[in-house]
């Protein structure tokens, strides 16, 4: 990295081989890929934690069922191994937990690796540490992008602002990687993009709306952690907006099933009423419906007796999804209003659980539920950043649509029976992923859209903008649709997107070829695919059944 004062003396300028704006899951994966290939990187992050949905959003990873065997990059598997080893080396785990090759610290039902956000943060810092020490990676925490500087079809620099002292830093590099949670660099640089739900006439998707709905975005969620101290009273102050949320009945299509603050919600797939179990003192709740176990991130039975007074549960439930407004494509004031309302919803859910939630013994509320601000690293006890499910998306050389990955859509497109249908195979694949097409209720009034999808590939064309030559997406802002974003947005897929983005930049710097030239020349494409395969990026699936 080189540093100097700007010409007018009002800001600092930094130069590197690549600039990554956003230190989330995809941003970290991109930085690791670039650094291990000898490139110098500046990575910014607007909070004080790197890691995105793994850390600052506090969400344990949503993964496919084959994750322990295949279907992820080598680096992502290393991350998972390091998480387990962190517990073995630093926590008083039981002998059985220490010996288990597939240790699940929280024994949560949603994932084979439910863990605390601070552990993911420690692991990511450790993975980056040698590159930070060598000077290959410079981390600018609490810095937010405020201006993009474009010349024609290239982005030459990005100005970021230090949120602690308002000082500006201008970052220059041959390649700019947008790893922001909302695709912030797209409007800043004038790069064409899509936002919201595309029209069926434009994408041909069976689950797309009839007309383009740019303001129709999936819900975001302010997650929080809690434990349960039986016989104690940890009731929080009555939230400011509690009366509103206590009475709120969602107006969605198809209809929601009563009030949002309830132990009942629409089943994501059938949309029929789904009753949830919530009984913190009991360990043996049903994994499919028991909320205490659902996203549990500390299972105290994995640890020596007395190490933990309680399990710890991460709350990312239908009851605290916020869809009454958007936090992108609106003014800063409006976005902040909705963030605060989203926080009030999560606090209202906790207060309702403490005071009014029905219990199996006929009582109301669990006063022993204790908010755990220490686990998420904030004063208010809510995650540092909302769990974001949808971003602005580049106008890409190739856009993945439902017909490429949706089970029913593939059957219709290919005529194959369900047992033989497979996702589209992309000649330019640079990774793989698998998850259902899972769209949460949206600001456009849609209830869940949750349909079967097939193990899919990540085409290189989805990482290349139609016009801008050197702006590369590294997370949910790649070339997908509102519908297919629903299966490309999960943790291991975002990691793969970011890692492949970093590898693409490293390869282009090494060869002198632009990303578009790599994709559109067969010999160069095969060379790049060999390059990424040699570093542990899988580009094909074995034959698998639909999810």
Q: Where are the domains of the chain?
A: 2-197+389-534, 220-376
**Angle ∠(20,428,25) on CA atoms, nearest 5:** 30
Question: Has residue 123 got a pLDDT over 80?
Answer: yes
Give the pLDDT confidence score for residue 10 in this predicted structure: 63
Q: Are 208 and 199 in contact (CB under 8 A)?
A: yes
**What's the pLDDT tens digit per position in 271-296?**
999 999 999 977 544 545 689 999 99
Continuous segment of H or E residues that includes residue 189: helix 185-189
Q: Please state at what angle helix 74-90 crosses helix 491-511, rounded to 10 degrees.
A: 120
- Three-state SS for 320-335 is HEECCCCCCCCCHHHH
**What's the pLDDT tens digit per position in 509-544?**
999 999 999 999 999 999 999 999 999 999 999 876
Question: How many Cα atoms occupy the beta-carbon half-sphere of 48 within 13 Å?
Answer: 6
The pair of three-digit structure tokens given for residue 478, joined into one six-digit string: 């790649």
Mean pLDDT of 152-172: 97
Which range (33-37, 41-45, 359-363, 382-386) has the least confidence? 359-363
Whole-number Å distance between alpha carbons of 114 and 239: 29
Mean pLDDT of 48-76: 97
**What's the pLDDT tens digit per position in 317-340?**
999 999 999 999 999 999 999 999
**What's the pLDDT tens digit per position in 364-373?**
999 999 999 9
Give the pLDDT confidence score for residue 287 in this predicted structure: 46
Radius of gyration of the chain (CA): 23
Question: Has residue 307 got a pLDDT over 60?
Answer: yes
**What's the pLDDT tens digit per position in 191-242?**
999 999 999 999 999 999 999 999 999 999 999 999 999 999 999 999 999 9
Give the pLDDT confidence score for residue 547 in this predicted structure: 54
Whole-number Å distance between alpha carbons of 224 and 230: 19
- State whether residue 154 is helix, strand or coil: strand
Whole-number Å distance between alpha carbons of 311 and 325: 33
Higher pLDDT: 2 or 118? It is 118
* Cis peptide bond prior to 502, omega within 30° of 0: no
Percent of the chain with pLDDT over 90: 94
Q: Are 340 and 386 in contact (CB under 8 A)?
A: no
Question: Has residue 546 got a pLDDT over 90?
Answer: no
Whole-number Å distance between alpha carbons of 491 and 478: 14
Continuous segment of H or E residues that includes residue 182: none
What is each CA distance from 201 to 38, 107, 205, 212, in whole angstroms?
Answer: 45, 44, 8, 9
Which range (2-16, 110-124, 392-406, 439-453) has the least confidence? 2-16
Look at residues 351, 302, 268 and name the one whose alpha carbon lies nearest to residue 62.
Answer: 268
Continuous segment of H or E residues that includes residue 419: none
Look at residues 239, 385, 384, 246 and name the one whose alpha carbon lies nearest to residue 319.
Answer: 246
Give the pLDDT confidence score for residue 486 in this predicted structure: 97
Q: Are 256 and 250 in contact (CB under 8 A)?
A: yes
- CB within 8 Å of 540: residues ≥ 6 apart: 425, 429, 432, 457
Question: How many Cα atoms occupy the beta-carbon half-sphere of 33 within 13 Å?
Answer: 35
**What's the pLDDT tens digit per position in 445-502?**
999 999 999 999 999 999 999 999 999 999 999 999 999 999 999 999 999 999 999 9
Q: Are 26 and 503 in contact (CB under 8 A)?
A: no
The pair of three-digit structure tokens given for residue 156, joined into one six-digit string: 């030459």
In this structure, the number of other CB atoms found within 10 A of the CB of residue 547 comes to 15
Question: Has residue 4 got a pLDDT over 90?
Answer: no
Look at residues 380, 345, 369, 375 and name the one whose alpha carbon lies nearest to residue 278.
Answer: 369
Tracing tokens 């060379």 back to the chain, one arrives at: 527
The pair of three-digit structure tokens given for residue 16, joined into one six-digit string: 């590197």
Give the pLDDT confidence score for residue 281 in this predicted structure: 79
Question: Has residue 360 got a pLDDT over 90?
Answer: no
Tracing tokens 């029209």 back to the chain, one arrives at: 199
Q: Are 143 and 162 in contact (CB under 8 A)?
A: yes
What average pLDDT does the chain have?
95
Q: Are strands 2-5 and 12-15 parallel, antiparallel or unpaired?
A: antiparallel
Q: What does residue 58 show for φ and ψ, rounded to 5 degrees?
A: 70, 25
Look at residues 493, 511, 379, 513 and name the one whose alpha carbon lies nearest to residue 61.
Answer: 493
Q: Are 129 and 32 in contact (CB under 8 A)?
A: no
The pair of three-digit structure tokens given for residue 368, joined into one six-digit string: 């022993």
Count the helix, strand and coil residues of the chain and give each as a percent rounded to the nearest 5.
Answer: 30, 20, 50
The pair of three-digit structure tokens given for residue 515, joined into one six-digit string: 């990303």
CATH topology (fold) of 2-197+389-534: FAD/NAD(P)-binding domain (3.50.50)
């Amino acid at each position: 990295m080189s540093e100097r004062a700007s010409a007018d003396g009002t800001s600092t300028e930094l130069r590197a081989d690549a600039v990554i704006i956003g230190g989330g899951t995809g941003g970290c994966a991109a930085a690791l890929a670039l650094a291990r290939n000898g490139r110098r990187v500046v990575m910014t992050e607007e909070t004080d934690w790197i890691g995105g949905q793994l850390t600052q959003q506090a969400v344990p990873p949503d993964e496919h069922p084959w994750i322990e065997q295949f279907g992820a990059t080598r680096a992502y598997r290393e991350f998972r191994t390091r998480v387990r080893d962190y517990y073995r080396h630093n926590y008083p785990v039981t002998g059985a937990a220490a010996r288990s090759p597939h240790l699940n610290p929280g024994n949560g039902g949603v994932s084979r690796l439910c863990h605390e956000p601070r552990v993911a943060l420690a692991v990511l810092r450790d993975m980056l540490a040698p590159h930070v020490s060598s000077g290959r990676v410079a981390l600018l925490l609490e810095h937010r992008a405020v201006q993009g500087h474009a010349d024609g079809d290239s982005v030459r620099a990005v100005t970021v602002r230090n949120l602690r002292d308002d000082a500006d830093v201008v970052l220059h590099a041959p390649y700019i990687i947008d790893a922001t949670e909302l695709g912030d660099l797209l409007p800043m640089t004038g790069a064409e993009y899509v936002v919201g739900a595309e029209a069926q006439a434009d994408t041909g998707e069976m689950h797309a709306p009839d007309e383009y709905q740019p303001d129709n975005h999936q819900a975001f969620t302010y997650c929080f952690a809690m434990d349960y101290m039986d016989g104690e009273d940890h009731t929080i102050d009555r939230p400011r907006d509690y009366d509103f949320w206590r009475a709120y009945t969602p107006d969605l299509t198809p209809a929601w099933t009563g009030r949002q603050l309830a132990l009942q919600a629409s089943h994501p797939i059938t949309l029929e009423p789904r009753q949830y179990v919530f009984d913190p003192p009991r360990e043996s709740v049903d994994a499919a419906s028991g909320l205490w176990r659902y996203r549990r991130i500390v299972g105290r039975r994995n640890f020596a007796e007395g190490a933990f007074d309680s399990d710890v549960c991460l709350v990312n439930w239908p009851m605290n999804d916020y869809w009454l407004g958007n936090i992108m494509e609106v003014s800063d004031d409006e976005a902040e209003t909705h963030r605060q309302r989203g926080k009030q919803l999560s606090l209202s859910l906790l207060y309702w659980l403490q005071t009014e939630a029905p219990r199996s013994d006929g009582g109301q509320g669990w006063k022993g539920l204790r908010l755990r601000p220490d686990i998420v690293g904030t004063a208010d006890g809510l995650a540092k950043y909302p769990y974001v499910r949808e971003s602005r998306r580049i106008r890409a050389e190739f856009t993945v649509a439902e017909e490429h990955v949706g089970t029913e859509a593939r059957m219709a497109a290919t005529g194959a029976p369900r047992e033989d249908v497979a996702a589209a195979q992309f000649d330019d694949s640079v990774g793989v992923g698998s998850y259902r097409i899972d769209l949460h209720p949206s600001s456009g009034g849609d209830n869940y859209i949750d349909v079967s999808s097939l193990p899919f590939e990540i085409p290189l064309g989805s990482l290349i903008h139609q016009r801008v030559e050197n702006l590369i997406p590294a997370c949910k802002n790649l070339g997908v649709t509102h519908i297919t974003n629903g299966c490309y947005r999960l943790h291991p897929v975002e990691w793969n997107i970011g890692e492949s983005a970093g590898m693409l930049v490293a390869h282009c710097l090494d060869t002198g070829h632009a990303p578009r030239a790599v994709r559109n020349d067969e010999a160069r494409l095969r060379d790049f695919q060999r390059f990424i395969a040699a570093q542990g990026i899988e580009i094909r699936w074995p034959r698998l059944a639909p999810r």
